[in-house]
Structure 1
Amino acid sequence: MADYQNPPVEDPSASTQMFRAFVDEPQPQPATAVNGGSRTAGIAIGVIVALAIVAVALYFVTK
């Protein structure tokens, strides 16, 4: 039968070691931000492709 009145005594140095390992671990580098110029170019290309698809669809509908 388990003794719930007296919890097991933990090693205080173990929690300190775990804390130090957590603090000392290298932090992940944030993702590099996309350059503003390349992002704008990507959006422009996306808009042009979308307009081309709409134009082709309209061509086939009216044909």
Structure 2
Amino acid sequence: MAENYEDPAGSTQMFRAFVETPPAQTQSNVSVHRAGSGNRSGVLVIGAIVALVVVVGVVWLAVK
């Protein structure tokens, strides 16, 4: 065989194994995911409040 030979069936077999393998989720993974999404929601709320304060400040300076 040539040194640069790539088995075309090899990548297909690895892909099928990846697709057909069910994801393993435990209770600890689910609780960590929920905690992470809560932090993300908090950051989004704080970001929205900061953006609102900045817009109100710009409008206030424009009217002044």
TM-score (norm 2): 0.46
Query: Which structure has the larger Rg over C-alpha atoms?
Result: 1
Higher helix share: 2
